[in-house]
Amino acid sequence: MIDNASIESLKNSLDIVDVIGSFIELRKSGANYKANCPFHGEKTPSFVVSPSKQIYHCFGCGAGGDSIKFVMELEKLSYPEAIEKLANMHNFSLNYTKGSSDYSDAKRVLEAIGQWYVKKLNQNQNAMQYLLDRGISQSSIENFEIGY
């Protein structure tokens, strides 16, 4: 998992004009930059990049966001993949956390909840009989840890 401080540092170091300009040709238009939108076909530029706000917006299709969102949408990448691509493009070193503690905590909570439902099924004879009447065997109920 990528460290949040590392992501924030990367975001602060990115210039949206440089990022988007490395994928499509931008033309200066006043304080902003314009281009034909890469997300839909058009003849007149309606895709605007604002260096002061560090965002892009297409007035034709409504696409918009920051540098990371642009790379995600254009390259069809997930958030972590887009972060890694941008870091590689800009020679930025990312720090990674183990991330397993969040996963382990969530897994432990979900297992406890699952056991609670199994216990509730065993305490409710009507629910247990319903499953048996539906053709679900006692061994299947135990193997798949079915709860109520």
Q: What are the start-end ranges of the E strands in 20-131?
A: 27-29, 32-35, 47-50, 55-58, 64-65
How much is the pLDDT for 100? 57
Q: Is this model's pTM higher than 0.75 or not?
A: no
Closest C-alpha among 127, 148, 128 to residue 137: 128
How much is the pLDDT for 101? 59
- SS3 assignment, position 26: coil
How much is the pLDDT for 99? 59
